[in-house]
Chains A and B, each alone.
Chain A
């Protein structure tokens, strides 16, 4: 294959082009050109098509660095991303371990599917469903008051914990999936060998299992961290007034304030942050793939 490929290199491109062109043209028009346009517009005072005079400016970026509001919000979003990722590791990793090493056969397949299934269903609807559980007089409130002998008020709705819960619920299947894939690849005989040589469970976990499943952990963390930093719908629905993050401010620029150039600059800064994170994780991700 390889030798054949090397000699057929030039003619290969000629035959491949008609098949490749439509798909990549589409991606160019709908993804790559828009991303480039966003960078371009972020240096403008006005949108050229609005009819108003426009000029090049660094003002949108100056606004980001001079007003502490945007930096504070970006920091808040990064912290949110970090917290959600940590919770997903704490909750998802043990589940992935049980799936990969304890459950077997059909029950493993069925449960694996059940864990992954919600992830591919509508994210907006799943966030909305938490409103039913978390609000005052909601299910959590009612259930706890029915069980507990004293009266408590659970009203988590429109709070920071509500946003965390909703996001963890949305993204924990990612962590289970990526960790499961790397954990499953660890040979059981390796674990048995370690145990028979006298390693305790904890030692095995620390010295063998966690290091070997690291690529899956990193892949899951990146896949969760990146979209959470850019989230706006989840904080809006579950966070209410406490749910102002970097993503919601970008949303505002496009749908409420109509300052598109500033929105473009804010989006591009987020994109830069995301790309740095992806680049840092790239060596690990390549090992996971």
Chain B
């Protein structure tokens, strides 16, 4: 019994060590964005200078707007198309359904380096070229499988009798979908949308290959800046990004939890 308790105690300690490993670099990066020294030297002296100078950086600001616009449009398109596809996969049986479901995994499983370079070649070949439109095309394709998987998971908890009951009470197919099914799967749809936003907003690899100077997203700009040298400004903008994306995922977890279990 005593050994069990000691082992449990070691286990808890271990988890905290893992959390330290996961979070300490991020916390240090965030702290350095508030440090006066541009060379990250200690002792620590508080400043918000680096955040203020972000506002002067037009390139970074325009890239931020691009990122936000693309992420929002990606979210809307992939949620609409993805929810429709999930409904079809849930409601109907037809030959080749298994195959269509299996097709969702290559976009998730194939490394982005391969997908990104393939998109670059193809978009160039058919005349779409690079730029924000190409990035949007790519992001929606990356986000769609996630939306379909998440919404389908929610649909698994749906009782088909509800649709039948509505139908027997005289509702047509459209009313059934809009008034009965959609409200039920809403938490899944919202979670899928947040996933889609995160996939797009944090996406670096695919955006990197599809961007041109002037038509870039925030992560691509940050990568370019990092390769020129480290500055506290990068820390500042990185801190903002990480806070935003973590907040988003906390929101997602909330919706998925409330939606997923009961």
**CB within 8 Å of B: which residues of A?**
1, 4-6, 8-10, 12-13, 15-17, 19-20, 22-24, 26-27, 29-35, 37-38, 41, 47-49, 91, 94-95, 97-99, 102-103, 111, 113-118, 120-126, 128-133, 137-139, 142, 169, 172-173, 176, 226-227, 229-233, 236-237, 247, 250-251, 254-255, 260, 263-264, 267, 270-271, 274, 278
Contact = CB atoms under 8 A, between A and B. Distances in A.
Contacts of A251: 113
B204 A20 contact: no
B36 interface: no
Shortest 9 CB-CB distances between A and B: which pairs?
A230-B111, A5-B93, A30-B141, A34-B122, A19-B88, A13-B94, A129-B29, A12-B92, A98-B11
B149 to A, nearest CB: 11
Interface of B: 8, 11-12, 14-15, 18-19, 21-26, 28-29, 32, 40-42, 77, 81-82, 84-85, 87-89, 91-96, 100, 103, 106-107, 109-115, 117-125, 137-138, 140-141, 144-145, 148, 160, 198, 201-202, 204-205, 208-209, 219, 222-223, 226-227, 230, 234-235, 238, 241-242, 245-246, 248-250, 252-253
Given A32-B103, A270-B114, 14 more contacts: A16-B94, A23-B144, A26-B77, A26-B137, A27-B107, A30-B140, A111-B19, A122-B201, A125-B29, A129-B238, A132-B40, A137-B40, A232-B113, A233-B204
B187 to A, nearest CB: 17
Q: Label chain B's interface by main secondary structure.
A: helix
Contact of A227 (B18, B111, B242): B111
B250 A124 contact: no
Contact of A129 (B25, B92, B110, B252): B25
A30 B242 contact: no
Contacts of A236: 227
A250 B137 CA distance: 22
A72 B87 CA distance: 47
A123 B28 CA distance: 16
A250 B117 contact: yes
A6 B145 CA distance: 26
B28 A226 contact: no
